[in-house]
């Protein structure tokens, strides 16, 4: 399950989405997240789902690959849905075990929140799967450049965010190795209640933190050995340029945004 998480991974390809300017993809992904939370009915979510599937098809990413990524956080989605369904005031539809009430408004909110989380995961996964870490760094830095005038360290922020994304799959892989090593020594991570399972994870967290700090130290030494001095006077082999593909993507997203805004009035 740990290896199924797709956020932070890069899937090389030559699709239409892969070839888009990283600045355009980052900006559209940010606006896409905003649109997800503006939708207030199921018709709007059908539009968003159709658009998301179209983007996934254009990116040539296997849908099964994205579904596997959702499996890694399925329990978080279920937990959030149950909380919304039971704690939201409204007309009680039924009671689980004659104790826990599920309300009509709560069930609607639970479905909305579940769809939002799934679409959020898929959208961010498409961004990282179709954008290399170097391109992602350059794109974030170029978007943050205007804020340098007020003292924002654009290059350093872009580098930190990209390194954090890049090390998500690395740390997950390290966690999987540590858990398998502990299980080979008799550790049990499956049996018992939630509290016992949490306690069983302590032997995993300690070596994981040690490994993370060690990797960070090695990365810092490697960057220093290569005379890394930040973004000042840094040149790039590939310059970011927008072309016809980017303008087509922007126009398509504007049309999609208009439909989403109009869908707020659909009942």
Instruction: Give the C-alpha distances (Å, rounded to integers) separating 247 from 59, 90, 177, 195, 240.
Output: 17, 46, 44, 52, 14
Note the pTM of the prediction, 2 decimals.
0.75
pLDDT of residue 32: 93
- pLDDT at residue 248 in the model: 92
Q: What is the mean pLDDT of the chain?
A: 81
Beta bridge partners of 96: 100
Beta bridge partners of 92: 103
* Chain segment 209-238, per-residue pLDDT in tens: 888 888 888 888 888 888 777 666 666 667
Hey, is 66 helix, strand or coil?
helix
Does residue 129 sit in helix, strand or coil?
Answer: helix
| Distance (Å, whole) CA 147 – CA 159 | 16
Alpha helices in the chain (DSSP H): 22-38, 42-59, 63-71, 74-87, 104-129, 133-144, 154-184, 194-200, 202-225, 244-263
Q: Which residues of the chain have pLDDT under 70?
A: 1-8, 72, 98, 189-194, 197-198, 230-237, 267
- CA distance to 130, 147, 161, 250, per residue, from 140 (Å): 15, 12, 9, 18
Q: What is the pLDDT of residues 60-88, one digit of tens each?
A: 888 777 777 777 678 788 888 888 888 77
- What is the CA angle 212-203-3, rounded to 5? 60
Residue spans per domain, the chain: 2-263
Q: Are the C-beta atoms of 171 and 57 separated by less than 8 Å? A: no
CB 89 within 8 A of CB 105: yes
């Amino acid at each position: 399950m740990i290896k199924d998480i797709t956020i932070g991974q890069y899937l090389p390809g030559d699709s239409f989405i892969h070839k888009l300017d990283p600045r355009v993809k980052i900006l559209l992904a940010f606006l896409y997240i905003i649109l997800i939370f503006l939708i207030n009915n199921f018709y709007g979510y059908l539009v968003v789902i159709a658009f998301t599937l179209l983007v996934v098809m254009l990116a040539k990413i296997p849908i099964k690959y994205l579904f596997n990524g959702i499996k890694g956080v399925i329990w978080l989605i279920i937990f959030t849905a149950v909380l919304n369904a039971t704690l939201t005031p409204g007309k009680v539809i039924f009671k689980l075990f004659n104790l826990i009430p599920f309300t009509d408004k709560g069930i609607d909110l639970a479905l909305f929140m579940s769809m939002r989380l799934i679409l959020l995961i898929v959208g961010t996964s498409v961004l990282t799967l179709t954008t290399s870490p170097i391109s992602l760094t350059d794109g974030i830095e170029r978007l943050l450049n205007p804020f340098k005038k007020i003292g924002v360290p654009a290059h350093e922020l872009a580098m930190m965010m990209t390194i954090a994304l890049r090390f998500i799959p690395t740390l997950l892989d390290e966690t999987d190795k540590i858990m398998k090593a502990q299980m080979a020594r008799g550790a049990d991570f499956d049996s018992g209640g939630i509290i016992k399972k949490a306690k069983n994870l302590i032997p995993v967290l300690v070596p994981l933190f040690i490994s993370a700090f060690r990797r960070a130290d090695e990365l810092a030494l490697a960057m220093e050995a290569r005379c890394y001095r930040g973004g000042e006077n840094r040149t790039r082999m590939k310059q970011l340029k927008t072309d016809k593909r980017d303008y087509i993507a922007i126009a398509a997203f504007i049309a999609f945004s208009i439909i989403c805004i109009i869908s707020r009035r659909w009942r």
